[in-house]
Amino acid sequence: MKIAAGEVIERPASIVKELLENALDAGATHVTITLEKGGLELIRVTDNGCGMTREDAALAFERFATSKIRRFEDLYTVSSFGFRGEALPSIAAVSTVELVTRTKDAVAGTRVLAEEGAVKAVSEIGCPVGTSVTVRRVFASLPVRRKFLKSEKVEQGLCLERIQRTALSSLGVRLEVSGEGRELLSLPAATRLDERISLLLGRGTREELTPVSGEKDGIRLHGFVSRPGSSRSSARHIYLYVNGRFVRDGVVQGALMAAYRNVMEARRYPVAVLFVHCPPGTVDVNVHPTKSEVRFRDPRLVYALVLESVSLALTGLFPFADGEEPRGDLKDDPTEGVREAVRRYHLLRNYGKKIPGDRPESPRWEMEGDGGQSPFPSGTASVGVLDLQDKRPVSSFAYLGQVGGTYLVFSGPEGLVLVDQHAAHERLLFERLKKAWGGDRKAQGLVVPLALTLTPGEARTVWDLRDDLAEVGLEVDRLGRDTILVRSVPAALPDLDVEGFVKDLLDDAARGESPPRLEGRRDGLLRSLACRGAVKARQALSPEEALALCLSLEQDGAPASCPHGRPLYREIPLREIEKMFKRR
């Protein structure tokens, strides 16, 4: 026995993946998929491929049977999506399966009914050329496994994600997906990868991407990666393919992230659609039951190719070291200066001005009392952050500058104080948003609504969350299948990066991070809003802005950590500094 491993059926999405890949291996150019109750009740995949004979249709439900390899050596040169022939018997073991198929030379088709892992009936039937597989009541006989599945909506989203992954590598195939009587996805056949990316990931995402290509010792790479200024909160939007097969590969992803190391903020991820083409004998696709992982014969060669190619593509956008000075097509935005001026205005507005004649190393502040709205919360807590143990006021601290463009450095009576500017501002915004939650004025209307072009599935997700978003001041409307109109932003965050917030929100929803209780949803939304509205790491602040931020920390008395639990400041006592220089 040369083939012993079976396919792993973990959830409805696993079934959709196997059936879709079988359809593509059969040469289908048109595939329709129907889902009911997230695939738990019904999955139907119909294709116009070559079909199966009566003998093959019955044999396909036997374990270890396959028509995709002819000899043992073929295991090392697999070019199809699958080959073990384990999908149908594995699916039939956890559900009821009906297969209807016909080849173009046959007068009548064949119907096979299987359940509990065995064929129950084989008969003739009239049907078009191709194959249709209907799967009903997934895990109905295995309630223990079924109870570990997520909600129908999440399971449907996972099915769509698997379909989307496959669709990106199958340009010439028309795909139609429906569920609960409505269309979920409709993809015409495409001739170019960027066309398929626009339809699947959205036109806005496509505009963020730049092409990548390279070749080294017979291994080729092509695809698209996002500009460094565009990032996501998870790796969900990284699509890696080896010889047309979607994989999760540490070599390729490690090289991709290494290319972004100096041009993207920490804990953020790019959008990438990358295809690696290797001679079949140089890559082993049989190291995982679902073939989601591969093993390269020369991983260092693949790593170097990806790193060099992606770095070269990013260098075209950032020709100077560490991305310090972007190329004109990214920086010479006529509105960028206006946005920067508005941002600085909101940061400083009503939070004081430096008194003429003050020494820079020992600043003092006067607070303006004109009642205007500031970018920082008015404070509800009683314990200050920079008041430290002996309640030393911030006015006694001398601002020295920034370290790494991220940490504000102060000289205090007892030593040095380092403040994480992003974490500090994020905490302040979070507390202010919580206070505004129950207030009368939570939203600030936009003169011109902001249109966000998303995928149909993403647009539905945002629309389903519209009530929760309205609670935090972000009012949305839906325009068509793939466009969301944002009509207002939270009053506390007039300069919110709405598009970035929505993308992070979608990443959280895709991971199932949507607590059922309103309180849990509220805090999650507020954390995302505060994170997006806060000043970023590696963002230069003027001395006035730095001092305004820390004065507001003292006045508002926010907790000494950001909403995600990271500390806002660290103090280095003078005695520790003296020890460093052997003075103690």
Helix axes 152-168, 193-201, angle to 10 degrees: 170
Q: Is residue 449 part of a domain?
A: yes
Q: Write the CA distances from 350 to 260, 354, 368, 546, 548, integer angstroms.
A: 38, 12, 5, 14, 10
Q: Write the CA distances from 396 to 172, 351, 360, 524, integer angstroms.
A: 68, 17, 12, 36
Task: Tell me the HSE value of 411 on the side-chain side, using a 13 A CA sphere.
Answer: 9
Looking at residue 561, its amino acid is S
Q: How many CB atoms lie within 10 A of CB 70?
A: 8
Q: Where are the beta strands (DSSP E) in 88-237?
A: 96-102, 109-115, 118-125, 130-136, 174-179, 182-187, 209-216, 219-226
C-alpha Rg value of the chain to the nearest Å: 29
Do 243 and 309 lie in a common domain?
yes
Torsion of CA 105, 111, 116, 118, to 10 degrees: -60
Do 302 and 410 lie in a common domain?
no
Q: Where are the beta strands (DSSP E) in 191-235?
A: 209-216, 219-226
In this prediction, residue 383 carries a pLDDT of: 26
In this prediction, residue 33 carries a pLDDT of: 97
Q: Write the CA distances from 354 to 162, 366, 398, 444, 583, integer angstroms.
A: 57, 7, 13, 30, 36
Give percent of the chain above pLDDT 90: 30
- The CA angle 482-488-490, to the nearest 5 degrees, is 120
Q: Is residue 205 part of a domain?
A: yes
- The CA angle 410-414-420, to the nearest 5 degrees, is 35
CATH number, position 48: 3.30.565.10
Considering 301, 324, 347, which residue would you say is the last residue of a domain?
A: 324
Q: Are 141 and 159 in contact (CB under 8 A)?
A: no
Do 266 and 118 lie in a common domain?
no
Task: Copy the structure tokens of residue 489.
Answer: 């932003």
In this prediction, residue 511 carries a pLDDT of: 65
Looking at residue 578, its amino acid is E
Do 247 and 351 lie in a common domain?
no
Among 362, 233, 245, 261, CA closest to 294: 245
Do 343 and 482 lie in a common domain?
yes
Segment 154-181, tens digit of pLDDT: 899 899 999 999 999 999 999 999 998 8
Which positions ≥6 away from 153 have C-beta within 8 Å? 38, 464
User: Could you give the CA distance from residue 489 to residue 476 in angstroms, rounded to a whole number?
Assistant: 9
Considering 188, 216, 246, which residue would you say is the last residue of a domain?
A: 188
* Burial bucket for residue 329 (CB in 10 Å: 0-12, 13-18, 19+): exposed
Q: Is residue 92 part of a domain?
A: yes
Q: Is residue 47 part of a domain?
A: yes
Considering 188, 220, 245, which residue would you say is the last residue of a domain?
A: 188
DSSP codes of every residue in 314-381:
HHTT--SGGGSS--HHHH--TTHHHHHHHHHHHHHTTS-EEPTT--TTS--EE---S-PPPSS-----
Q: Is residue 279 part of a domain?
A: yes
**pTM of the complete model:** 0.65
Which positions ≥6 away from 164 have C-beta within 8 Å? 185, 200, 455
Q: How many CB atoms lie within 10 A of CB 564?
A: 13
Q: Where are the beta strands (DSSP E) in 375-458?
A: 398-403, 407-412, 415-420, 443-453
Do 471 and 367 lie in a common domain?
yes
Do 556 and 479 lie in a common domain?
yes
DSSP codes of every residue in 63-82:
TT--SS-SSGGGGGG--SS-
What kind and span of H or E run contains 484?
A: strand 483-490
Looking at residue 391, its amino acid is K
Which positions ≥6 away from 336 have C-beta within 8 Å? none
What backbone phi and psi angles, to 5 degrees, belong to 60? -65, -20
Task: Copy the structure tokens of residue 435.
Answer: 């206070």
Q: Are 473 and 501 in contact (CB under 8 A)?
A: no
CATH number, position 319: 3.30.230.10
Q: Is residue 193 part of a domain?
A: no
Do 433 and 478 lie in a common domain?
yes
Task: Copy the structure tokens of residue 19.
Answer: 């059936």
Among 302, 11, 33, 15, CA closest to 167: 33
User: Could you give the CA distance from residue 298 to residue 141 in angstroms, rounded to a whole number?
Assistant: 45
Bridge partners, residue 452, by sequence: 484
CATH number, position 584: 3.30.1370.100
Do 38 and 173 lie in a common domain?
yes
Do 255 and 158 lie in a common domain?
no
- Overall number of domains in the chain: 3
Q: Is residue 6 part of a domain?
A: no
pLDDT lower than 70: segments of the chain:
1-8, 64-86, 285-292, 316-396, 436-442, 511-523, 537, 553-560, 564
Do 150 and 167 lie in a common domain?
yes
Do 202 and 146 lie in a common domain?
no
- Domain containing 61: what range? 12-188
Q: Is residue 230 part of a domain?
A: yes
In this prediction, residue 456 carries a pLDDT of: 79
